[in-house]
Copies of this chain bind each other. A is one copy, B any other.
Amino acid sequence: MNAPARKPTMSRETLLPPMMAHVIAEGLGQASLRPLAKAAGTSDRMLIYHFGTKEQLVTDLLAHVAGVYAAVLDAAIAGAEPPATRGELLARLLAQNGDPAMQPFLMLWWEIVGGAARGLPGFRPAAQAMVGKLLGWLEAQMPPGDPDPAGGARLLLTVVEGTLMLSSLGHAETAREGLLAGGLLPT
């Protein structure tokens, strides 16, 4: 009655997406081999076979996360008309990142930042890739005619990251009040 058990032939590429979904949902701290394998529909034995080491698995997984993040930004830049002012761009950014759907990714982001700060293998390259990508995206999205797109993008990057951190702690309103007081957000 049952099919003759086809051969899926798992590879690193097919294993990474479900594992990424797992770490986004459960966190990197709880990412041990057996739960990861279960999420990917395989066994811990197979994960070691494909990646060699858990450390290499985490490195590859973080690189994959950075790649997906870059792809999301690339997709977002395609169908977007440029904002008129820096404030409008900032408001757009905060609206996107304040979306509750973004929260699981933000939880993962803080673990990546912490790992990068501690120098854990694979964390810093992934974090720098994502920050670098976001910075480039911001430069490309700066309002036309902006007097200093490079500096403005760096300002927005700093302000957005600070706001996201405070938002993760339940201080989103505090950050918003600060940005309004600083004239960075349109009223």
Contact = CB atoms under 8 A, between A and B. Distances in A.
Given A113-B110, A114-B110, A135-B174, A161 B151 contact: no
Tally of this chain's copies: 2
Nearest to A178: B154
A80 interface: no
A169 B116 contact: yes
Nearest to A132: B171
A174 B151 contact: no
Interface stretch (A37-45, A56-64, A123-131): A123-131
Interface residues of A, number: 47
Given A29-B29, A110-B110, A158 B166 contact: yes
Nearest to A29: B29
A159 interface: yes
A48 interface: no
A139 to B, nearest CB: 11
Interface of A: 27, 29, 103, 106-107, 110-111, 113-114, 116-118, 124, 127-128, 131, 135, 148, 150-163, 165-166, 168-171, 174-175, 177-182, 184
